[in-house]
Amino acid sequence: MSKKEKKAQNILKRAHTFFEKGNYLQALVEFEKASRFISSKEIDKKIAICQEKTIDDREQDLVKRGKKYLRNDNVRMALKCFEEAYAISKNPSIQDQINELSVGLQSIDASRNAEEAEKNGDYIKAIEYYDQAFQHANNSTWLNRKAICLVKANCFEEANALFSQIEPDDTNETLYNKGYALAITGHYYECLKVWEDISETHEAFKEQIQTVQDCLKANIFNKLRNNAPYQTLFQESIYIQSIDTEPAIDQLVEYSRFGWIAELWEKQDYETILSILPPLPEKMQPELLAFVSKLYYNLCENSGDYSSDLALYWLTSLHNRKICNALTTGNEDIDAIQNELIRKGKALLQKHADAGNSQAAQEFKYWESDKTILQFLIGIMKNRKTMGELACTPRFAVQFGRAERIHTVIKNNRKGFPSKEQFLKTGAYFTPVWKALFHIENNEFSDALTNLPEYNPSGDDFYQFGWLYVHFMHGRYNLTKGKKTTNLFAKACVEIFKLEPTYEKELSDQALDAISIETIGPYEDAFAEIYKLYSSDLVSITYSILICHKALFLYNHNKMNAKGFRAAIQKALSIDPENELAVGFAKDIRVEQDISELHQAFERMKLNKAARIAAESQYPEVQKEFFEVIDMQMREVDIRAEDDNQRYVLFNEMLRLTLSVNPSHPINIDLKNALAQL
Amino acid sequence: MNPFKILNVSIDASQREIIQAVTKAMRERKHSSHDIAIAQKELLSPISRAVHQFVHFITIDSLQKKPKRKFPEMPETHTFKRLTIFDRSV
């Protein structure tokens, strides 16, 4: 093989190696070299393949570079890369990319021109360029700049229109210009709202804000005269009210508020009405009260979450004399209408309560209490004409500051109450204790205590009574369940008993009916505390009996010894000496004690002592026992005595003793007969 | 349920107007015939009508008093020049 052929083979070998490794560029170079020496179809084929592959690589490389330029926002260079790539491959997708980029580049160029024009103060030109730029690309920044240029070019209406279509950025520049355009075109309120978001304290800007505010104030009464929409008047007057207090503005706020409310009512948009409702004054005129109650009724029709509000206003509203009188303009029965409205209010609460709304369930429970108290209050009021405006439910009174006036009414109508307790309890409902009292009415004793406000020592009589009453009722309930009472229970009992003695009787009866030790114990403890403060006859009797009951139970169950039992009975007697139960127990104890001492004396052969015990004891049982022992000893004389002399001595001694105890006892005759026989 | 809205009648609609409204409401079919029947029944009964009048209409004339005020002078607008303090450097 020649040198030339050998060289060619080596080149070819290298070419194949590069080809197999996929390095088509090098392979092409080698194959082209080889083709100069060797003419072969196979080499030509390989060259063609290499050329195709390298074209692909070059194209991909250019596309990759083009995308990289795009990511860095260098549209121009990206376009150049794609154009080169297209020149190589004529790939249609690359053509599409090129078209897109060309358009984008036009937009960018246009925007650059626009910025240049704006910088030079040629705002109209700038606007045109921005229009061009925006034709091909959707860019919110350009729209914002166009809008600003419109303002600078004094095209305020167009600026307003554009700002309203786009989402303006939140830069101070955009916000200021947007606001400025609005102000210049007479939209002062809208301008001020936009400018609220500008964080700038420059004096010139502050002055300008003031100027716009002055325009707003001056313009609002023009709007009023020209029958502008109530919503607009309300929103603008509310804003003015926040910066300037003036009676006319306050009136305008209320005028426009209620004008808007009337419109919203027509649309049944109760939620929005609620959001613009004014703060409700303590002295609420009937029209406002009626309106508010209707509002909450309609809100509650759709949601039980307004149950408390409905309960607050509905009953009070329907018992207001003026509102009631306006229920009919014809001959309809006012009472029937009123009752039906009350029924509907209650039915609404029931509906939500049944659906599981806990707020509604609670208000439904309180409904009758509210109604009863309110109607009772109206019933006792002498001067119904003036008082008809005052009557309200307890919670309404407490919330709207009517409690004091109602207390005056209650005090002035004292004779209308059957008892002092009823008088005080009614007044107590119109104090902050009202909620706890409602819980008591519904037998929710734990909740009552939880909802009792902090004790106020300077509270009036009604408050004090209500507060103590809750503690009393809570304690009374706890005792029935065998639970302890609160520390204040005893004090509450004392006050309540003084006011209404029937409570003392009820509690005592309740205590004496207790059967199990679980309940007797707490009762005894409670009465111990009560007794310390208030030792009335009934309390003393009850306490004394409770001591006996408890002691007997413990003694019978071997949880108390005889000594302890005796001490308890003594204590009971010290509290109530006429406690028959204690007296009986004491007697039994004494009898037992005397008999025990009697037997002890006999066992120790202290017969004189035994006789003395029997003689001195007030209990016939002791004497009886003595004579039984003597009788037994009489029968045992034959066992004890050896002869008649000893028998004589023993019988004689016995006779002496028996005569000292009871000379008329029959045993004396037996002893005398026994002696006679000896 | 607002029977006045269902039958599209005013607060002082007469019985005749109510009955005519029922016919119209049936034709328009914006509400079910059941609701229309109930609305008719409610409005033709004096008590329930009075109840619905109370619930669905408000009287706020006394709450809405139109204020009277002199018109203050409008500030001079030519002093209302656009500030450049917010302009960014373009």
| Percent of chain A at pLDDT exceeding 90 | 43
pLDDT digits (tens, 9 = 90+) for A157-167: 999 999 998 88
The Cα of B63 is separated from the nearest Cα of chain A by a number of Å equal to: 7
Q: Is the pLDDT of residue A571 over 80?
A: yes
Residue A569 has pLDDT above 80, yes or no: yes
Do A317 and A289 meet the contact criterion of CB atoms below 8 Å apart? yes
A147, A177 Cβ separation under 8 angstroms: yes
pLDDT the model gives residue A6: 86
Residues of A with CB below 8 A from B79's CB? Answer: 211
Per-residue pLDDT, A284: 87
Q: Where are the domains of chain B?
A: 3-61
* Residue of B56, B72, B79 lying closest to A218 (CB–CB): B72
pLDDT above 70: residue A8: yes
Tokens of A99: 């078209």
Nearest CA in chain A to B12: A329
pLDDT of residue A70: 83
pLDDT reading at B76 higher than 60 = no
Q: Can you tell me whether residue A186 is helix, strand or coil?
A: coil
Task: Report the C-alpha gap between A111 and B90 in whole angstroms.
Answer: 12
For the segment A336-364, the average pLDDT, to the nearest whole number, is 94
What tens digit of pLDDT does each residue of A331-341 get? 778 889 999 99
pLDDT of A168 above 50 = yes
In A, minimum Cα distance to B88 occurs at: A173
Report whether pLDDT(B78) > 60.
Answer: no
**pLDDT band at residue B90 using 50, 70 and 90 as cut-offs:** very low
Between A140 and A146, the more confident residue is: A146
Q: Which residues of B touch A299 (CB under 8 A)?
A: none
Q: What distance, in Å, lies between the first and last C-alpha atoms of chain B?
A: 62
Q: How far is B66 from chain A (nearest CA, A)?
A: 6
- Quick: pLDDT tens for A176-195: 999 999 999 989 999 999 99
Question: Is the CB of residue A368 less than 8 Å from the CB of residue A393?
Answer: no
The pLDDT, as a whole number, for residue A355 is 95
Distance from CA of A342 to the nearest CA of B (A): 10
Tell me whether residue A454 is exposed, middle or buried, using C-beta atoms within 10 angstroms of its C-beta: 0 to 12, 13 to 18, 19 or more. Answer: exposed
More confident: A677 or A396: A396
pLDDT over 70, % of chain A: 99
A388 pLDDT more than 70: no
State how far the Cα of B79 lies from the Cα of B59, in Å rounded to an integer.
46
pLDDT at A154: 92
Check CB contact under 8 Å for B90 and A115: yes
Subunit contact A221:B66, Cβ cutoff 8 A: no
B63-81 burial by CB neighbour count: b if 16+ within 10 A, else e?
bbeebeeeeeeebeeeeee
What are the distances in angstroms from CA A325 to CA A97, A328, B64? Answer: 81, 7, 22
* A197 interaction partners in chain B (CB closer than 8 Å): none
Using a CB-CB cut-off of 8 Å, the residues of chain B touching A252 are 67, 69
Question: For testing the chain B interface, which of A141, A216, A221 should be mutated: the one with the most B CBs within 10 Å?
Answer: A221
Distances A261 to A226, A273, A377, A570, B51 between C-alpha atoms, Å = 19, 6, 34, 78, 21
Reduce the secondary structure of A364-425 to three states and give it as a string.
HHHHHHHHHHHHHHHHHCCCHHHHCCCCCCHHHHHHCCCHHHHHHHHHHCHHHCCCHHHHHH
Q: In chain B, what residues touch A290 (CB-CB under 8 Å)?
A: 54, 58-59
Mean predicted confidence (pLDDT) in A326-351: 89
Chain B contact set for A214 (CB, 8 A): 75
- State the count of interchain CB pairs (< 8 A) between A and B: 121
- Report whether B31 contacts B6 (CB < 8 A): yes
Contact residues on chain A for B82, CB-CB shorter than 8 A? 151-152, 177, 180
The per-residue pLDDT for range A497-509, each reduced to its tens digit, is 888 888 999 999 9
Q: How confident is the model at residue A135 (pLDDT cuts 50, 70, 90)?
A: confident
Would A3-90 and A123-272 be classified into the same CATH topology? yes
Quick: pLDDT tens for A466-487. Answer: 998 999 999 999 999 989 888 8
> Can you list the alpha helix ranges (DSSP code H) found in A72-202?
75-89, 92-119, 123-136, 140-152, 156-165, 172-184, 188-195
| Nearest CB to B46; choose among A205, A255, A332 | A332
Minimal Cα distance from B53: which residue of A?
A: A327
Of A248, A288, A337, the CB nearest to B63: A288
User: Contact B59/A290, CB-based, under 8 Å?
Assistant: yes
Calpha distance A162→A159 (Å, rounded): 5
CA nearest to A329 within chain B: B50
- pLDDT tens digits, A595-611: 888 999 999 989 999 99
DSSP count for chain B of H helices, then E strands:
4, 0
pLDDT computed for residue A259 by the predictor:
94
**ipTM attached to this prediction:** 0.90
Residues of B in CB contact (< 8 Å) with A are: 2, 5, 46-48, 50-51, 54-56, 58-69, 71-75, 77, 79-80, 82-83, 85-88, 90
pLDDT at A291: 96
pLDDT in tens, B16-74: 999 999 999 999 999 999 999 999 999 999 999 999 999 999 988 888 888 876 666 66
Q: In the CATH scheme, what is the code of domain A3-90? A: 1.25.40
Do residue A262 and residue B86 have CB atoms under 8 angstroms apart? no
| Residue A382 distance to chain B (closest CA, Å) | 28
**A145 min Cα distance to partner chain B (Å):** 10
- Sign of the Cα pseudo-torsion (A232, A234, A235, A238, in order): positive
> In whole numbers, what is the pLDDT of chain A averaged over residues?
89
User: Which CATH number, 3.40.50, 1.10.10, 1.10.287, 1.20.120, labels domain B3-61?
Assistant: 1.10.287
Fold of A123-272: 1.25.40
